[in-house]
Amino acid sequence: MSATIEKGINALKRQVDSSVAAFFSSCVHCGICAEACLFYTETGDAKRTPINKTEPLRRIWKSEYTLFGRVGKMFGLTRKVTDEMLEEWQELVYDSCTLCGRCSMVCPVGNDIALMIRKTREGMAAAGQAPEGLIGATTRSVTIGSPMGVKWPALAAQIRHVEEDSGLKVPVDQSDVDYMLLLSSMEIMNFPEFIEAMAKIFDKAGVSWTISSEAFEATNSGIQIGVSDIAAELVQRIVDVADKLRVKTVISPECGHAYMAIRWDGPNLVGKPFGFKVRHVLEVLDDLHKQGRLKLAGKDTQRLTYHDPCQISRRGGVIDEPRNLINLFADNFVEMPDGGKMNWCCGAGGGVSANERADEIRLKVFDRKKAQLEEVKPDAIISACSNCRIHLEDGLEEHNMDIPLLSLTETIAEYLSDE
Amino acid sequence: MTKDKNLKNGAPEQVNLEKGTPVKGTLGEALRSQGVSRRSFMKFCATTASMMALPPAMIPTIARALENARRPSVIWLSFQECTGCTESLTRAHTSTVESLIFDSISLDYHHTLQAAAGHGAEEAREVAMEENYGNYLLVVDGSIPLDNPGYSTIAGISNLDMLNEAAKGAAAIIAVGTCATYGGIPHANPNPTGAVSVKDIIKDKPIINVPGCPPIPVVITGVLAHFLTFGSLPELDHIGRPKAFYGQSIHDRCYRRPFYDKGQFAETFDDEGAKKGWCLFKLGCKGPTTYNACATTKWNNGTSFPIESGHPCIGCSEPDFWDGGGFYKALSMPTVDLSQTAAYAAAGAAAAGVAIGLMNRSKKNTSNKIHVKTTLEDLKK
Amino acid sequence: MSEIEILSWARGPGLQIATVIFVAGVVIRIFEILLLGRKANLAEAKGSEMSSGLKTMITRTVPDKTTFKRSSVTIVAGYVFHIGMFISFFFFAPHILFFKDLIGISWPSLPGAVIDACAVISIIALLAVLVNRLTNKVMRFLTNFEDLLTWFLTFLPLITGYFAFHRIGFTAPSLLAAHLLSVELLLVVFPFTKLMHTFTLFLARWYNGAISGYRGVES
């Protein structure tokens, strides 16, 4: 119970680097980022313009790291970051941003606005201005090991079911294996089929793999709430186990921000490069296919489309792999308009789904996805993020649209060749 | 021809400077006695009307007014000057009506031209001022030194005193040449004599500025013709110049203007562009900022003007033309060594930038140092 | 002070003062940005920072299709203004002479009529930019004093340049002096305002491209 505005300001000071300074120096208030953000396009509320969400960080940059701002500060001319201000910005920084990064792709001067908002969250959290929901999820992640409070016995039970259903062995805590599979709580609780799918695929491919009983959780609430120290602690748990088991590659599951957390932020959070590789499950599958170890049989004639999870494609770089894989079994694949790196976010990422206060706006901004789907009219939607899936199902249900959601990995497992 | 003859003889015949009394009679009489035909006189009136942008209907009015005009008394004071203005005005190559107009005034005092010297000369001035008090025209060329009156005196009288005294009874003052109008070359940086223009001193008389170094002769006679015709001063611009002659810039009337518009410039005085007669802007031509009639009336009896003979306009009829940053530096070029300024500024700023950058880094390091690892306990206030 | 004196001041000391503030300000700001530094990325790279950064510096000039559709007024007005200003700024013969005096190199100029047309188009576009700024919901929300100030100070050299070119209303020395002084004013405020984007956008785009490119995404 020790968050203070001073800590928040100090955290913001720590976040300013040359890229942030270049970004803020370049903004011309053109407002184009708003048109890239579904929280603006679907609400028409100008205050949800992406760059406006970074205002706390901008004020600190201006008053602390620019000559003009510092002179202004001496005369009390700069705008201050206060508790009241941050409180007002909470709903912008947390409830109205999924860190999807579409704004970063359209900014004509090249500002990575999503990164700036992510950094702004560091100051918000340190000042005690993070939403209840995210604090709760973060607390569970640290104390229990999962934002949803999933403990090992629950996963162990799911593994037993999988083993019973499939007749395959799910290796646990095996050392010196090729792959260590991480899971999201969402998969453990809602989509245990994912584990079964992995077991089948790995069995066919003949690779060695394992799940750790100590560090199975892939998600990282520290990233979403914006506390690097906590995010680092969560990453460290995985690093410790991966090092102990001497695994070659850690697999990030079908979860967007988990991939961002372990693949791209992870080494930077813990401060040193990993001794193992990190790959998204789709990268692994694509790789196995290229090596000829993943063979599929049969075709799906349904009209299928792919929803790019932001953190996996636009922010993560896994764009071609899902398409390669889908084309292995899909006869009638259609891209969504703006599909790929410019895809529109589902509206629930970046901690929005963990923040109950944002439930209403989360469903409101689903209208964008709805419009895309109405254009494509797919028979089923494939995705590679459990959080996207849950939210898409939620949104479709809200609008009485009956389009099934498929996991790409699970679908691959269904089309495994018997050869 | 008449004028040349007169000058050869030492003084114009029709002006009785020695006696100090103005010759009476109308201008028409004077012209007829000089053998100027009616036709050439009307032609002059038409030219004057068109130059002063008056409607053709005004030509007979001008002719009538000029014919019947009393020859006014003119007192010409020369201060800090080079006599170039007088040279210009008296050096018409052939006899022209305008030179006759100039001849036909009653020039009662002009210490360069008059035969009288010493006390006689000064007496002529004093008599003319007294007899024509309130009616004479005062023409001034040269600037007036204010630093030390001893810099320029005539008959022991400082320029300032003489101007003040002569101005009192003047109907109007015509400042001739850039020195009298704007200070001119004596006024140029660093202005050692504290030279100023007529209008800097005289505030209560109408002043017509006829700048130029020297001014075009026809401009002076045009102004005189206007005064004689209408008994008033022509319309002046914001710096006291007759709009009729100074209303358009050299650039706007320059026959080389099309080359400027097309972007065809002489780069040096002897390149192909110079030979083809392209625009001299790059060679420093001040035509765009210079208001004068050179491009239309031309010099030496309409022979040519500087640009026509291949030299850029130096802007001599504009205030402070001498300090305009170099005659051969294009107008759009800085008058200072800007690249050196920029280089010094960049070097200095680089050092300052490094210092400020390091301060920022240390500030950030401090915030990293005072940062205490955030735990779950720290998420709420 | 006579107008020629003002013009001489604008061509000399005025320009010098403005140049010192502009150059020093820009250099300090660039140092300020770069010296803040950026931590090396410790994650295993999927692409090159350098080549992606350089690529984005150029590719970000072209908006993607959806963005163009959604923000067409902002984009078109912005581009027309920038391009028109760029042409009249860099290809008007007297301007080229200025640059030649400054940096010693020159390049071919465009005819006056072309420059004139570009300036007019640029002025119209800049007016459209202002109208858009005041009517577009998002832009109106984002607009602060600085945005209006920099708009005005950018507009001034264009309009004074146009007036000087056509000699409208005042004498040439006054118009030329006004044009130069307006440029000097722009130079003076440049380093302290968003006008800095002229330079920093290349840094920003590089960082954007580098961050994305490192993860194997073209941005």
Give the tens place of pLDDT for each residue, B224-268. Answer: 778 777 777 888 998 999 998 898 999 999 999 999 988 899 999
Interface of B with A in 325-364 (CB under 8 A): 356, 360, 363-364
Nearest by CB: A22 against C136, C140, C203: C203
Is residue A153 in a domain? yes
pLDDT tens track for A233-269: 999 999 999 999 999 999 999 999 999 999 999 999 9
User: Does B8 score more than 60 pLDDT?
Assistant: no
C-alpha torsion angle, residues B185, B186, B187, B192 (rounded to 10):
140
- Residue ranges matching CATH 4.10.480.10 in chain B: 250-323
Distance CA B261, CA B358 (A): 51
Residues A57 and A102 in one domain: yes
Cβ contact A126–B381 (<8 Å) = no
Residues A304 and A365 in one domain: yes
- Interface contacts (A, C; CB < 8 Å): 182
pLDDT tens track for C95-151: 999 999 889 999 999 999 999 999 999 999 999 999 999 999 999 999 999 999 999
pLDDT at B102: 61
Residues A280 and A299 in one domain: no
- Residue ranges matching CATH 3.40.50.700 in chain B: 2-245
pLDDT at B96: 58
Cβ contact A18–C36 (<8 Å) = yes
Pick the residue from chain A with its C-alpha nearest to C46: A317
Q: What is the DSSP letter of C98?
A: H
- Single-letter amino acid code for the residue at A282: L
Cβ contact A1–B368 (<8 Å) = no
pLDDT tens track for C4-58: 888 889 999 999 999 999 999 999 999 999 999 999 999 999 999 999 999 999 9
- Decide which of A289, A304, A329 is a domain's last residue: A289
Per cent of chain B over pLDDT 70 is 89
pLDDT at B38: 77
Pick the residue from chain C with its C-alpha nearest to B183: C2
A342 interface with C at CB cutoff 8 Å: yes
Residue with the bigger pLDDT between B202 and B34: it is B202
Residues A262 and A362 in one domain: no
- Decide which of A260, A289, A318 is a domain's last residue: A289
Q: Which chains touch C (3 or more CB pairs under 8 A)?
A: A, B
CATH number for the domain harbouring residue A168: 1.20.1050
Total domains present in chain A: 3
pLDDT at B50: 72
Residues A278 and A303 in one domain: no
- Decide which of A289, A317, A335 is a domain's last residue: A289
- Single-letter amino acid code for the residue at C202: F
Is residue A232 in a domain? yes
CATH number for the domain harbouring residue A365: 3.40.50
Q: Which chains touch A (3 or more CB pairs under 8 A)?
A: B, C
Owning domain of residue A352: 295-414
Q: Which CATH architecture has domain B250-323?
A: Irregular (4.10)
Predicted ipTM of the assembly = 0.96
A30 interface with C at CB cutoff 8 Å: yes
Distance CA B314, CA B295 (A): 13
Is residue A324 in a domain? yes
Best of A94, A228, A229, A234 to disrupt the B interface (most B CBs within 10 Å) is A229
- What does the DSSP assignment read for C121-143? HHHHHHHHHHHHHHHSHHHHHH-
Residues A179 and A230 in one domain: yes
Question: pTM of the predicted model, to two decimals?
Answer: 0.88
Nearest to B228 by CA among B61, B88, B94: B61
Best of C67, C149, C192, C196 to disrupt the A interface (most A CBs within 10 Å) is C67
Interface of A with C in 297-326 (CB under 8 A): 313-317, 319
The nearest CA of chain B is from the CA of C47 a distance in Å of 29
Pick the residue from chain A with its C-alpha nearest to B367: A10
Is residue A195 in a domain? yes
Is residue A401 in a domain? yes
Is residue A419 in a domain? no
C108 interface with A at CB cutoff 8 Å: no
B139 burial type by CB count under 10 A (0-12 exposed, 13-18 middle, 19+ buried): buried
pLDDT tens track for B289-338: 999 999 988 888 788 999 999 999 999 999 989 988 789 999 889 988 99
Residues A125 and A255 in one domain: no
Residues A284 and A303 in one domain: no
Residues 6+ positions from B337 with CB-CB distance below 8 Å: none
CA distances from B378 to A84, A130, A299, A352 (A): 19, 11, 53, 21
Please name the residue that has the structure tokens 């209008």: B199
CA distances from B140 to A399, B122, B180, B238 (A): 94, 16, 6, 20
Cβ contact C217–A314 (<8 Å) = yes
Is residue A139 in a domain? no
Best of B241, B257, B285, B289 to disrupt the C interface (most C CBs within 10 Å) is B289
Considering only CB atoms, which chain C residues are within 8 Å of B323?
5, 8
Mean pLDDT, rounded, of chain B: 85
Is residue A140 in a domain? no
How is domain B2-245 classified at the CATH fold level?
A: Rossmann fold (3.40.50)
The nearest CA of chain C is from the CA of A298 a distance in Å of 31
Q: What structural domains and CATH numbers belong to chain C?
A: 3-214 (1.20.950.20)
Q: Peptide bond preceding B306: is omega within 30 degrees of 0, i.e. cis? A: no
Residues A320 and A278 in one domain: no
B237 burial type by CB count under 10 A (0-12 exposed, 13-18 middle, 19+ buried): middle
